[in-house]
Amino acid sequence: MTELQTGLPSIRQIQHLIKEGQEVELKLLTGDLLNGKLRWQDQYCICLSTPEEQQMIIWLQAIAYIKV
C-alpha cells in the first residue's frame, strides 16, 4: 500500500486546510461545485463535510481544483 507523502506541498496544504477547518470550494472534473470543510485525506480520497454536515468521500482523481 502506498503511504501518504506528507512532504509534498499539495499534501501539506490540504493538511493545513483540514487542521484550520477552513471552508473550501471543490470543483470536480464533471463541473460540479461543492462547498464545505475538508475532514481527512488519504492517498486515494478526501472527505468533504457540507454546511448541512453531510460527509462526502471524493476520489482525488475526480477533483479539478480546491479553492480557498
Smallest Cα–Cα separation from 59: which of 43, 37, 44, 48? Answer: 44
The edge-to-edge listing of strands for the beta sheet with 33-41 is 55-59, 45-49, 33-41, 23-28, 63-67
Rounded Cα distance between 42 and 36, Å, is: 18
Each residue's pLDDT tens digit, 15-66:
999 999 999 999 999 999 999 999 999 999 999 999 999 999 999 999 999 9
Q: Full-prediction pTM beyond 0.75?
A: yes
3-state secondary structure of 45: strand
Does domain 23-67 correspond to CATH entry 3.30.1370.60? no
Question: Hey, where are the domains in the chain?
Answer: 23-67
CA distance 38 to 25: 10
Counted residue by residue, the chain has a size of: 68
